[in-house]
C-alpha cells in the first residue's frame, strides 16, 4: 500500500511557480501581487491566511492585506473588491471564506473580476471549467488531480466515484476527472447505497466533511483513495473522511490526513495567482 504524500507534490508545484514568478518579473519588471481579503477574527481563517501569505512570500509573490473587522458591511466589502479589481498592481484576489454569518458570500465572490479570481470559485471560472476551457481551477480539486498525476495514477477510463458535491470540492473535482476521461459517479447524502457505488471505484475521492464516513469494506481491492476531508475530533486530533486504518487494508494507494491533499491547496493558489498575473501582464 502506497501513501500518497502531498508535501513533495506541493513542493514541486511551488518550485515551478517560483521559477515562473522569477521569469515573469524578469520579462515585465512587475511583481505578481495577491490581494488578501479577510473579514472578521475567525482564528482558523487567520491561520489559513497567514500560511497562504507565507507561501506567497516564499515563491516571490507579494501580498497586500485588506482586513475588515467583524461587523463590516457587505457594501464596504464590495467596494473594496471593486477597488482591487480596478488596480492594475493587484493581479489575484483571495477572499478568505467563510465570511461571517449574515454576509452574502455568493455576491462577494461574484464581485471579483474573473481574471483576478485566484480561488477559481467565481461563476465564470466554474462555467469555464464546465465548458471544457478552464481558466482558474478551484485549488483543492486541482491539487487532487496533481497528486494523481504525480504518482502516475491513470485517470482515463477509470471508474471514479466522488463522494460530496460541494461547489468548493466535489463538483469541480468531478468535472476535472470527467475532463480527463474518467467515468464519474457523484454521491451525496441522498445517494441510496453509498457503499455499492464506492466499491465500484478505481479512484475514490471523498469530500464529505464527516470523519471516517468511508470504511475499508466500502473500498474495492486495489483502489486509489483521495481523502479531502479534514475533521477535528473531540480528542483534538485531525481525521479524514476515510477511516485510514481499514481503508489501507484494501486500497493500493491513499492520501493521509493530515499531509495528503491539505498541502496542495495553497500550492495551487500560488499557481492560479501566477497564471492570473501572467495573463494580465500579457506575458502568456
Ligand atoms: P460541504 O460543503 O459540507 O459538502 C459536503 C458534501 O458531502 C455535500 O455534498 C454532502 O451532501 C456530502 N455528504 C456529507 N455527508 C455525506 C454522507 N454521509 N454520505 C454521502 N455524502 C455526504 O464540504 P466541503 O467544503 O466540500 O468540504 C468537505 C471536506 O473537505 C471537509 O472536511 C473540509 O474541511 C475538507 N476540505 C479540505 C480542504 C483541504 O485543503 N484539504 C479544502 C476544502 C475542504 P449533500 O450535498 O447531499 O448535503
pLDDT at residue 223 tops 90: yes
Residues 5-14 have a mean pLDDT of 98
Residue 125, helix vs strand vs coil:
helix
Question: Across residues 65-94, what is the average pLDDT?
Answer: 97
For ligand 1, say whether the CB of 262 is within 6 Å of any of its atoms: yes
Nearest residue to 228 (alpha-carbon basis) of 220, 237, 238: 238
Confidence class for position 51, pLDDT limits 50, 70, 90: very high
Share of the chain above pLDDT 90, in %: 99
What pLDDT score does 189 carry? Answer: 98
Mean pLDDT (the chain) is 97
Pocket test for ligand 1, best of 6, 193, 228 (most atoms within 8 A of CB): 228
DSSP H helices in the chain: 7-28, 43-59, 74-86, 105-111, 123-130, 139-150, 170-179, 194-199, 244-250, 262-280
Reply yes or no on whether the pLDDT at 211 is more than 90.
yes
With vertex at residue 144, the alpha carbon angle to CA 10 and CA 130, rounded to the nearest 5 degrees, is 125
How crowded is residue 50: how many other Cβ atoms within 10 Å of its Cβ? 12
pLDDT score, position 216: 98
Residue 165 has pLDDT above 90, yes or no: yes
Give the 3-state DSSP-derived string for 192-245, with helices as H, strands as E and coil as C. CCHHHHHHCCCEEEECCCCCCCECHHHCCCCCEEEECCCEECCCCCEECCECHH
| Index of the ligand 1 atom closest to the CA of residue 257 | 41
**Within a 13 Å sphere around the CA of 268, how many CA atoms are in the beta-carbon half?**
23
Q: Is the shortest distance between the CB of 20 and ligand 1 below 6 Å?
A: no
| pLDDT at 284 exceeding the cut of 90 | no
From ligand 1's centre to the CA of 214, what distance in Å?
Answer: 12
250 pLDDT above the threshold of 90: yes
Cβ proximity of 108 and 77 under 8 Å: yes
Are the C-beta atoms of residues 92 and 118 closer than 8 Å to each other?
yes
Q: Is the C-beta atom of 164 inside 6 A of ligand 1?
A: yes
CB 210 within 8 A of CB 186: no
How many of the other CB atoms lie within 10 Å of CB of 147? Answer: 23
pLDDT digits (tens, 9 = 90+) for 84-135: 999 999 999 999 999 999 999 999 999 999 999 999 999 999 999 999 999 9
Mean pLDDT of 145-169: 98
* pLDDT given for residue 124 in this prediction: 98
Active site residues: 52, 96, 119
pLDDT at residue number 283: 84
> Distance from the CA of 261 to the center of ligand 1, in angstroms?
14
Residue among 162, 175, 189 whose CB has most ligand 1 atoms within 8 A, to mutate: 189
Q: How many CB atoms lie within 10 A of CB 81?
A: 23
d(CA 159, CA 183): 5
Domains of the chain listed by start with CATH number: 30-114 (3.40.50.10860), 139-262 (3.40.50.720)
Q: What is the mean pLDDT of residues 170-182?
A: 98
Whether ligand 1 lies within 6 angstroms of the CB of 140 is answered as yes
Neighbour tally for 74: CB within 10 Å: 15
Nearest protein Cα to ligand 1, atom 8: 164
Helix or strand holding residue 37 (H, E): strand 33-39
Amino acid at each position: 500500500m502506497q501513501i500518497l504524500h502531498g508535501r513533495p507534490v506541493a513542493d514541486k508545484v511551488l518550485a515551478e511557480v517560483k521559477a515562473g514568478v522569477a521569469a515573469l518579473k524578469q520579462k515585465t519588471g512587475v511583481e505578481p501581487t495577491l490581494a488578501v481579503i479577510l473579514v472578521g477574527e475567525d482564528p482558523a481563517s487567520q491561520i489559513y491566511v497567514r500560511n497562504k501569505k507565507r507561501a506567497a512570500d516564499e515563491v516571490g509573490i507579494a501580498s497586500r492585506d485588506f482586513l475588515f473587522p467583524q461587523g463590516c458591511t457587505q457594501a464596504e466589502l464590495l467596494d473594496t473588491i471593486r477597488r482591487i479589481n480596478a488596480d492594475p498592481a493587484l493581479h489575484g484576489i483571495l477572499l478568505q471564506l467563510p465570511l461571517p454569518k449574515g454576509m452574502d458570500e455568493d455576491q462577494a465572490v461574484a464581485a471579483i473580476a474573473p481574471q483576478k479570481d485566484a480561488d477559481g470559485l467565481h461563476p465564470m471560472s466554474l462555467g469555464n471549467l464546465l465548458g471544457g476551457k478552464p481558466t482558474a481551477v478551484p485549488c483543492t480539486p486541482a491539487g487532487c488531480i496533481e497528486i494523481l498525476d504525480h504518482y502516475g495514477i491513470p485517470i482515463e477510463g477509470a471508474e471514479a466515484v466522488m463522494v460530496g458535491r460541494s461547489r468548493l470540492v466535489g463538483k469541480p473535482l468531478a468535472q476535472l476527472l470527467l475532463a480527463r476521461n474518467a467515468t464519474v459517479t457523484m454521491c451525496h447524502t441522498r445517494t441510496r447505497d453509498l457503499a455499492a457505488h464506492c466499491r465500484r471505484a478505481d479512484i475514490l475521492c471523498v469530500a464529505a466533511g464527516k470523519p471516517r464516513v468511508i470504511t475499508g469494506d466500502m473500498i474495492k481491492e486495489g483502489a486509489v483513495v483521495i481523502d479531502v476531508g479534514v475533521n477535528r475530533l473531540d480528542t483534538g486530533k485531525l481525521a479524514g473522511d476515510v477511516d485510514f486504518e481499514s481503508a489501507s487494508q484494501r486500497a493500493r494507494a491513499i492520501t493521509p490526513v493530515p499531509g495528503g491533499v491539505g498541502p496542495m491547496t495553497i500550492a495551487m493558489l500560488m499557481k492560479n495567482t501566477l497564471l492570473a498575473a501572467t495573463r494580465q501582464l500579457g506575458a502568456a
